[in-house]
Amino acid sequence: MSNLPPGFREPSVEGEFEEYYLNMGPQHPSTHGALRLVIRLTGETIIEVVPHLGYIHRGMEKQAENLGYTQYIMMSDRQDYLTAIQNNLGVCLALEKGAGIGVPERAEYIRVIMTELGRIASHLVFYACYGGDLGGQTVLLYGFKEREMIHDIFEEVTGQRLTTNFFRPGGSRMDVPDTFIPRVKAFLAHLEKTLPDYDRLLTKNIALVERSVGVGKLTKEQALAYGCSGPVARASGVNYDVRKNDPYSIYSSLDFNVPVMYNGDCYDRYLIRWQEMYESIKIIKQCIEKFPAGPYRSKEKPNFKLPAGSFYAASETAKGLYGTYVVSTGGANPYRIHTRSPSFSNVSAVNAMAKGEKISDLVTILASIDPVIPEIDR
Amino acid sequence: MGIMNFVPKVLDPVPGGKYVVNMVDYVVNWARANSLWPLTYGTSCCAIEMMSSSMARYDIARFGSEVFRDSPRQADLFIIAGTITEKMAPAVQMLWEQIPGPKYAIAMGACTISGGPFRYDNYSVVRGAEQVIPVDVYIPGCPPRPEALFNGLLKLREKIMKESYRNPWHEGETSKAGEIERWAEASKAWAAAEKIKDEEMAAAREAFKANPPEDYVAYKPVRVAKEAFPDVERPVVTEIGKSYKELYKIAKSVAPELSIFGKEDSSDETLDSLPKDLPLDVVVSKENYLKLVEFLKNDSRTKFEVLTDVVGVDWKDHFDVIAQLLSVEYGHKMFVRVSLPKDESIPEEKRATSLLASIPSLSSLFVGAELKEREVYDLFGIKFEGHPDLRRLFMPEDFVGYPLRKDFTHPHILKKPV
Ligand code: SF4
């Protein structure tokens, strides 16, 4: 036991094959960024996986102590850049709670439409990378195609494709253009035509099914113990979605379902994201119907400050529960900001998922978690 | 290259040989410039734009660089997409060394130029890729658009087309000059250029005033009315799951010393007056911490099955460690906070590098607590008793100090000039 490398603790098993270690990352095409895993194997079977983090630790939380409150919104873009717009919202929710600012109706609708578009974009990247990691280059190209259209909308509205930096406490940075609603409508019409095609392209594909059904099982108890959230937890039967169970914005007035699956394997994690995409379309459609006129933000507060105290807001990004914890002492800078990133908890469960699987399944498992590493390391 | 390097030496003296050398150069450069094979490398945000540029819409194949190689030994272009941290820098260097020459590097994004958004007040980011490997082309942007990447690629092509066997590719140098001096120099040059520009502009303005064109009408700025925004009330929210009063009573039965964070008393009125959209935040003693969390987890009335996070706060004279609990079944949340006085027995000069407090670990209750507690240990220097594997998580093992402490200093931090 004692002579194992740091992090490993399973007892050795006497087997046919010798034990050995394999390093994966920090530069590896399927670790989705600078993640390093050290894998202990016997033959091709994984005994244990130990994640080594911090290769993209950028010290955001320390830096935030020298930034203004609203400047941290820019940092949140760079945590999970696939769901940047949802992270913006997560930070703003916490700041609004602290400052006691309300949000006008139109702003709420803008928020929901934009974040749901972001969710679709993120899940499309998941779809593309999942297919790509399993060896289907074609899928990679398709997934990104529709995502670019969403980014066109983002660019028109926010001025940026990726790092949107759009929401502000009390609403958003600017109003949406008049073309916004027609454009979203046209996009949804297009998406509804193409999504089923993509679904057919991959979902029943024999290679995908064989490689992901029953692979990387995570039970409900494990998912809870690791603190998993989002699609990873919901694929293991944890029925928790912040939008439903702790509604923020106008989600309580919208009609949508939270898909839950019970096998907890890679295939369920894949399927659940498909259903979420359809649910997102449903949500956006409802919002478009009711999209109100009016101000896009509430009264601006110059020199945004929070009263002394600590504030917390949770929101649901495409990856799971995104929590922002702000401690203020009344000054112009936050005393401490901490982000609870969903990928962190999800990746910590990789050992539980990969134990006993084959080495090539680890790629599937990682892809099915859909982690974004800068969000873990922050 | 070997033998080819002698081509100019042999052919240049021969009449007409120059043209042969030129032609050989042209053909070789043309081939090289039009099939740059990039390495699949990306650490953060910019990598996604790099991926986008190789996908259907932008299609990097138009520029001959669609063959993203997973192994550095087959690549000849290193697109440094994303922030480089000090922990990652050795890996970047190794990748560069593994690429066989002639090889080129494109620094994509503000982070690889100067550290970008993470330039100031940061202890872990390398400020610019040229500190680590020699760079050929820099692309500004945060992140640069795919078109900008293509522009960079074309710039690199121009550079390659200028190579010759008379002047063959050689590995560039990383920046040896200290970063501060380079920036001081750059800003001096910038200021000089600005001065010249200002003088020229002033002269032009004078000339314009003295002799305006006939149809000139002075510009009158239009004032747009400032938009007035309403004050909006926050919606009324109700507690989710059990009420604060109930939760508090349940918790109090296990830990009699329990109190509400930031409040003097814990009467019913105080509990009623707590904001309903924030979780109940209770302070417990270190001795009862583990017992309380275990009770809250297992009791059927509370069922806090998920530990969403473990957070540390440094209050200068003491630490707070906050276990953030969530019940999936009921939906209620609770923060269990322990206040840890800093160990005063440690001499002044050793305080920055030693663990100043300790607290029982929750890893026996929640497996997921392991990594989260390692984060707090890493960034605050708080010991977790009973943790099975307490190592640094984000910072390298040999990193000195605990970054999120308020008195943390590090030689690599660059203060923002005011
Ligand atoms: S330059 Fe901007 S987008 Fe690119 S890696 Fe740095 S922070 Fe991210």
pLDDT in tens, B65-106: 877 888 888 888 888 888 888 888 888 888 888 888 788 999
Q: Assess if residue B412 is contained within a domain.
A: yes
User: What is the model's pLDDT at position B199?
Assistant: 95
Mean pLDDT of A168-189: 88
Percent above pLDDT 90 for chain A: 11
Structure-token match 């540390």, residue found: B312
* Closest CA in chain A for residue B96: A27
Q: Are residues B242 and B134 in the same domain?
A: no
Q: Do B395 and A163 touch (CB under 8 A)?
A: no
Within-domain flag for B278: yes
Please give the tally of structural domains in chain A.
Answer: 1
Assess if residue A36 is contained within a domain: no
- Say yes or no to pLDDT of B192 above 90: yes
Task: For chain B, report the end-to-end CA distance as a whole number of angstroms.
Answer: 52
- Looking at per-residue pLDDT, the higher value among B402 and A32 belongs to B402
In angstroms, what separates the C-alpha of B388 from chain A's closest C-alpha?
Answer: 9
- Positive or negative, the CA dihedral B141, B147, B153, B156 is negative
In a domain? residue B193 = no
Q: Is the CB of B7 under 6 A from ligand 1?
A: no
Instruction: Kindly list the distances between the CA atom of residue A262 and the CA atoms of A174, A239, A278, A360, B414, in Å, as whole numbers in the listed order.
Output: 42, 10, 19, 24, 50
Average pLDDT over every residue of A21-26: 83
Q: Does some domain include residue A44? A: no
Range of the structural domain that residue A228 is part of = 60-376
Query: How confident is the model at residue A1, as a pLDDT?
Result: 47
Quick one: which atom of ligand 1 is closest to the CA of B45? 8
Looking at the domain assignment, is residue B194 inside a domain? Answer: no
Q: Which helix (H) or strand (E) holds A323?
A: strand A321-328
Task: Give the whole-angstrom CA distance, residue A165 versus residue A169.
Answer: 12
> Exposed, middle or buried, A189 (CB in 10 Å: 0-12/13-18/19+)?
exposed
pLDDT for the residue A15: 67
- Domain match, B74 and B169 both: yes
In a domain? residue A37: no
Choose the final residue of a domain: B144, B179, B214. Answer: B179
Instruction: Please tell me whether residue B412 adopts helix, strand or coil conformation.
Output: coil
Please answer whether residues B46 and B81 qualify as being in contact, where contact means their C-beta atoms are separated by less than 8 angstroms: yes
Q: Is residue A52 part of a domain?
A: no
pLDDT grade for B175, boundaries at 50, 70 and 90: low
- Flag whether pLDDT at B200 surpasses 50: yes
**Spatial CB neighbours of B147, under 8 Å, sequence gap ≥ 6:** B58
Residue from B41, B44, B79, B80 to probe ligand 1 pocket by mutation (most atoms less than 8 Å from CB):
B44
CATH of the domain at B213: 3.30.460.80
Nearest to A78 among B44, B52, B88 (CB): B44
Contact flag A298-B122 (C-beta cutoff 8 Å): no
- The pLDDT value given to residue B177: 57
Q: What's the mean pLDDT in A202-224?
A: 86
**Res. A31 pLDDT band, cuts 50 70 90:** low
Q: What is the DSSP letter of B202?
A: H
Q: State whether B169 and B212 are in the same domain.
A: no
User: What's the CA angle centered on B354, arms B353 and B357, to 5 degrees?
Assistant: 140
Among protein residues, the one with the nearest Cα to ligand 1's atom 8 is B45
Domain match, B396 and B325 both: yes
Ligand 1 pocket test target in B84, B88, B111, B126 with most atoms within 8 Å of CB: B111
Q: Which residue does chain B place closest to A6, by CA atoms?
A: B389
pLDDT in tens, A354-368: 888 888 888 888 888
Chain B: closest CA distance from residue A41 (Å): 20
Kindly determine whether residue A162 and residue B45, on different chains, have CB atoms separated by under 8 Å.
yes
d(CA A193, CA B64): 33
Percent of chain B having pLDDT more than 90?
Answer: 6
Distance B323 CA to ligand 1 centre (A): 32
Contact A340, A321 (CB under 8 A): yes
b/e A253-277 (16+ beta carbons within 10 angstroms → b)? ebebebbbbebbbbbbbbbbbbbbb
Q: What is the rounded average pLDDT for all residues in chain A? A: 86
Which atom of ligand 1 sits closest to the CA of residue B81? 5
B48 close to ligand 1 (CB < 6 Angstrom): no
Task: State how beta strands A321-328 and A336-340 pair.
Answer: antiparallel
Domain presence at residue A41: no
Same domain assignment for residues B167 and B240? no
Give me the residue from B47, B235, B324 closest to A33, CB to CB.
Answer: B47
List the structure tokens of A241. 């979605």
Q: Is residue A160 in some structural domain?
A: yes
Pairing relationship of beta strands B318-326 and B306-314 according to DSSP bridges: antiparallel
Q: Taking residues A340-347, report their average pLDDT.
A: 89
Quote the tokens at residue A160: 């940026």
Ligand 1 centroid – CA B235 distance (Å) = 37
Indicate the number of domains in chain B.
2
Q: In this model, does residue B368 exceed pLDDT 70?
A: yes
- Of B179, B198, B220, the position where a domain reaches its end is B179
Instruction: Nearest by CB to A62, from B44, B142, B404: name it.
Output: B404
| Residues B216, B161 within the same domain | no
Task: Give residue B261's domain range.
Answer: 206-418
Closest Cα in chain B, distance from residue A65 (Å): 9
Is A10 a member of any domain? no
| Mean pLDDT to the nearest integer, B60-68 | 82
Give the tens place of pLDDT for each residue, A214-260: 888 888 888 888 988 889 999 988 888 888 888 888 888 888 888 99
CATH no. for residue A162? Answer: 1.10.645.10
Average pLDDT over residues A122-151: 86
pLDDT digits (tens, 9 = 90+) for B261-314: 877 777 777 777 777 788 888 888 888 888 888 888 888 888 888 888 899 898
Residues B60, B118: one domain?
yes
Tell whether the model's pLDDT for residue A118 goes beyond 60: yes
Residues B164, B227 within the same domain: no
Residue B185, token pair as written in the block: 């120099």
Q: What is the mean pLDDT of residues B14-39?
A: 84
Mean pLDDT of chain B: 84
Tell me the chain A residues in contact with residue B404 when contact means C-beta distances shorter than 8 Å: 61-62, 336
Can you give the CATH number for the domain in which B90 is found?
A: 3.40.50.12280
pLDDT of residue B179: 61
Using a 6 Å cutoff on CB, does residue B144 contact ligand 1? no
d(CA B105, CA B100): 12
Q: Are A373 and A344 in contact (CB under 8 A)?
A: no
Q: Are residues B155 and B85 in the same domain?
A: yes
Statement to judge: residues B371 and B240 lie in one domain: yes
Confidence (pLDDT) at A83:
86
In this complex, which of B142, B308, B392 lies closest to A227 when CB atoms are compared?
B308
**Residue A47 forms part of a structural domain:** no
Give tens-digit pLDDT for B204-250.
Answer: 999 998 888 888 888 888 877 777 788 888 888 777 877 888 888 88
What single-letter amino acid sits at B283? V
Helix axes A180-202, A105-133, angle to 10 degrees: 30
| pLDDT(B181) > 70 | no
Handedness of CA B342, B347, B349, B354 (dihedral sign): negative
pTM here is 0.87
